[in-house]
Amino acid sequence: MAGIGRKQKFVVASVTQQEAVDFATSCPVVAVISKTSHLFRKVTFAATMGTGILSLALAQLPGALPGMARLAEGLWLFNIALFVLFAALYSARWVMFFDEAKQVFGHATVSMFFGTIPMGLATIINGFLSFGVSRWGAAAVAVAEALWWIDVAMALACGVLIPYLMFTRQQHSIDQMTAVWLLPVVAAEVAAASAGLLVPHLQDGGARFTVLITGYVLWAYSVPVALSILAILLLRMALHKLPHESMAASSWLALGPVGTGALGMLVLGAAAPATLAPFGLAEVGHVANGMGVVSGLLLWGLGLWWMMLATLITLRYFRAAVPFNLGWWGYTFPLGVFAVTTLRLAKVLDSLFFEVFGSALVVVLASLWLVVAWRTALGAYRGNLFVSPCIASMNRP
C-alpha cells in the first residue's frame, strides 16, 4: 500500500484515481484540504469536548459575574465552528483517502477515539439547552432533540462495535492498556446525562417519557462497563506501573465516566418525578430522584479518589519534561464534567462546600484550557502537531 510520499488513492464518483490526484495537486484550495484531511486525527475532537465542557461549566458558576454569560456562550459558538470544521476534515479524509482511513479499525489506540465524536457533539447539544433556548426558544429545543438522537445512535455504535473490534481484530495486552479503553464506552453515559437535561424542555409527555427511559438505558449501557474497565486498569497499573509519558493525560480519563455517571443520575433523577407521574409512576419518580442524589454523591466520592490519584500521577510525570501532544486535551473534559457535577450537587444539597470546591475546579479547568489551546494553536501553526499513527504504521516495512 502506498506511503505518504507516494500518490494516494482517492475515492471520487465518476472520476479516475489519476484525475483526482491531478485535480488535488493543480488546485491550491483542494491541495490544502487534501493535505489537512490526510493528517487529520480523531483525537482532535477531544478539543471540542474540552471547549464545550468549559463553556457549560462557566455557565454554571454561582453568582452573576460581569461578562461570564457572554464568554460562556461565545465559547459554545466557537465550539460549534470547531466541530463542523473537524467533521468536514474527517469526512474529507474518508472520501479522499479511504484505504488509509479504514486502517483505523485495526489500530489498538486510535480507534478508541471514535468515542470523542459523539461526546463532543453532546456538549453542543447541552449548549443549545443552556444558551440557545433564551435566544431561539422552542427551535433550539427541537434542534437539540434531533441532534440528541443522532448522538445516541453514534454512542450506541461506538459502545459495542469498538469493543467487538478489540475482541476480534486488534492486538491488545494488559501491559499496554491505558484509560483510552474507556472512550468508546463512555459516550453512551454522556448522552444519558444530556437526556436528563433535555427532558424538562420537551413539551410532549410521550417524548419526555421516551427520552428519560432511553437516558436510563444509556446509563446502564455504559457505566457498569466503564467501572469494569477501571477495575482492570487498577490491576494493570499495579502490575506494570504507569504508561509512557506520551500517555500522561490518560490518567485523568478515569475521572470522566465516574463524574459523568454521577451527573447522569442527578439530572435523570431530577427529571423523573414530573415525567413519570402522568403515566401512573409517581412513586417510581420520587424513588428515582432520591436514588439519583444518593448514587450521584457516592460516585462523586469515587471521582474524588480518582482525581487525587490522577493529580499525584501528573506531578510525577511532570518532574521530567513531558512533550506536548493532542492527548493533553484529555486533562480538560474529565475535570470539567467533575466540576459541573460538583456544582450540581451544590444546588441539590444547598452546600457551600460543593459550591466553593466546584468553582475552584472551574478556575483550574479554565487555566488548563488556556494552556492546551495555546499549545495546540502553536503546534498547528508550526505544522508539527498532526501526525496520523495510521499513516505512520502503513509506512513501516
pLDDT digits (tens, 9 = 90+) for 217-239: 999 999 999 999 999 999 999 99
- Contact partners, residue 380, CB within 8 Å, separation at least 6: 386
* Maximum separation of any 2 CA atoms in the chain, in Å: 68
The string of DSSP codes covering 238-263 is HHH-S--GGGGGGGGTTHHHHHHHHH
Residue corresponding to grid cell 490491576: 235
For the stretch 365-375, pLDDT in tens is 999 999 999 99
For the stretch 318-356, pLDDT in tens is 888 788 888 899 999 999 999 999 999 999 999 999 999
Calculate mean pLDDT across residues 98-119.
90
In this prediction, residue 392 carries a pLDDT of 42
Q: Which three cell numbers stand for residue 352?
A: 457551600
For the stretch 2-23, pLDDT in tens is 333 333 333 333 334 444 444 4
Does position 162 have pLDDT exceeding 60, yes or no? yes
Residue 23 CA to residue 30 CA, distance in Å, equals 8
Task: Let me know: does 158 contact 115? Beta carbons within 8 Å.
Answer: yes
Taking alpha carbons only, the member of 330, 365, 337 closest to residue 179 is: 330
Calculate mean pLDDT across residues 292-302.
98
Residue 212 CA to residue 209 CA, distance in Å, equals 5
In this prediction, residue 33 carries a pLDDT of 45
Regarding pTM above 0.85, the answer is: yes
The dihedral over CA atoms of 375, 376, 379, 380, expressed in degrees to the nearest 10, equals: -150
Q: What angle do CA 77, 82, 84 make, to 5 degrees?
A: 95
